[in-house]
Amino acid sequence: MAEQDADNRVAAVVIMAAGAGTRMKSAVPKVLHRVAGKSMVALAIDTADALSPDRLVVVVGHQRELVTEHLAEIAPHVTIAIQERPLGTGDAVRAGLAALPGVVGEIVVTSGDVPLLEAETLIDLVAAHREGGNAVTVLSAVVPDPTGYGRIVRDGEEVARIVEQSDATAEELAIVEINSGIYVFDAATLGEGLAALQAANAQGELYLTDVISHAHDAGRRVGARVLADYLQTEGVNDRLQLAERGAELNRRILAHWMAEGVTVLDPATTWVQAGVDLAEDVTLLPGTSLEGATSVGRGATIGPDTTLIDVEVGENARVLRTHAELAVIGDDATVGPFSFLRPGTEIGTRAHIGAFVETKKAVIGDGAKVPHLTYCGDAVVGEGSNIGAGTIFANYDGLGKYTSTVGAHSFVGSDSVLVAPVHIADGAYVAAGSTITADVGPGELAVSRGQQRNIRGWVARKRPGTATAAAAEAALAPTEPREHAAEGTESGE
Residues annotated as catalytic are 372
Q: How many CB atoms lie within 10 A of CB 157?
A: 9
Burial of 275 (0-12, 13-18, 19+ CB in 10 A): middle
d(CA 434, CA 442): 17
Cβ atoms of 409 and 383 within 8 Å: the answer is: yes
CA–CA–CA angle 112, 204, 100 (5° rounding): 45
**Taking Cα atoms as reference points, which of 309, 311, 317 lies closest to residue 282?**
317
Q: Is the dihedral of CA 195, 200, 202, 203 positive or negative?
A: positive
Cβ atoms of 12 and 100 within 8 Å: the answer is: yes
**Taking Cα atoms as reference points, which of 150, 67, 252 lies closest to residue 58?**
67
Find the farthest-apart pair of alpha carbons in the chain and give their distance in angstroms, rounded.
137
